[in-house]
Amino acid sequence: MSDQHTALIKTPRQLITVVILAFVVPVIVIILLAYFVTGSKSGGAGSDAMTPEAISDRLRPVGTVALQQAGGARALQGGEAVYKAACAACHAAGAAGAPKTGDAGAWSARLKQGFDTLVKHAVEGIRGMPAKGGNPDLDPIEVARAVAFMGNQSGGKFTEPAAPAAAAVAVAGAGSAGPSGEQIVRQVCSSCHESGKGGAPRIGDRAAWAKRVANGVNAVTDSAIHGHAGMPARGGMASLTDPEMRAAVLYMFNAGGGAASPAK
């Protein structure tokens, strides 16, 4: 019976060991639990997940709201405004090899290429310069205006393309003003004429429009109404009236170097 009541701790050394373990083991357990909890909160991504940038990214709204101007197509910006918003970041300081605005020497060879070539490069992008200065919402005419502004500040003598207002005016004799030529172009024609798809002359590309301008606006309008080559009649929109087609043609015709008026 005496063996059953014998104590487990028989020596002072065993007592000391038990006392130490009684303190050490709980501390280890607490440290492991704390590491597990903090590690799971960081998503296993390490210390980078707690940087200000990472925290800001996680707090960023899921979506954003874009406001669009009501009432159809927006008004086209002038060359200086487009330059300040889209071009100045590089051209004001000559960053990344961009010719610095006002530097006649840097612009000399480019000005010799001609206005149409410069506009083509600006619209499509060239080397390190993105298409339309990185703003795809710019109208080709707006890009052309910015090119004219920079060129003229650097020794050029370009004429900034005027807004083809003729296309936005109701055709003489029409009972009421329908959509403007610019609106029709954006809704119907831009899918081909913006990019030159299928051989369509690009909006604002004077070289591509030269022969058409020489033929006259009436001939071009007739081709647009009845279809020509790969272009379907009325741009594929049979509901467009003849005056509406003429307004759309006027917009592109004048942007391409023509000077036609609404009246036939």
Domain ranges of the chain: 79-153, 165-255
Q: Which of 121, 141, 133 is closest to 182 using CA atoms?
A: 141
**pLDDT value of position 200:** 85
Percent of the chain with pLDDT over 70: 76
Give dist(CA 52, CA 229) in Å, integer. 58
CA distances from 72 to 69, 178, 182, 246 (A): 7, 11, 9, 19
Can you read off the two tokens belonging to residue 239? 């509901």
Task: Answer yes or no: is pLDDT of 42 > 70.
Answer: no
Phi-psi category of residue 126: left, alpha or beta, with phi > 0 → left and psi -120 to 50 → alpha: beta
Top CATH class, 79-153: mainly alpha
What does residue 182 show for φ and ψ, rounded to 5 degrees?
Answer: -65, -40
Task: Answer yes or no: is pLDDT of 133 > 80.
Answer: yes
Q: Mind listing the pLDDT tens digit for each residue in 151-200?
A: 899 898 888 877 654 434 333 334 445 678 888 888 778 878 887 887 88
Q: Among 11-20, 126-135, 176-185, 245-254, whose mean pLDDT is lowest?
A: 176-185
**pLDDT value of position 68:** 46
Q: Which of 203, 205, 248 is closest to 223 using CA atoms?
A: 248
CA end-to-end distance (rounded Å), the chain: 127
Task: Answer yes or no: is pLDDT of 138 > 60.
Answer: yes
**pLDDT value of position 165:** 44
Average pLDDT, rounded, for the chain: 77
Q: Mind listing the pLDDT tens digit for each residue in 45-104?
A: 445 555 666 655 655 555 444 444 444 456 788 888 988 988 988 898 888 788 999 999
Q: What is the DSSP letter of 11?
A: S
Top CATH class, 165-255: mainly alpha
Burial class (CB in 10 A: 0-12, 13-18, 19+), 254: buried
**pLDDT value of position 41:** 52
Task: Answer yes or no: is pLDDT of 36 > 60.
Answer: yes
207: three-class secondary structure by DSSP: helix
Strand partners for 126: 129
Placement of tokens 């899918």 in the chain: 191
User: What is the b/e burial string over 34-55, where b = at least 16 CB atoms within 10 angstroms of the residue's CB?
Assistant: eeeeeeeeeeeeeeeeeeeeee
Total residues found in the chain within this entry: 264
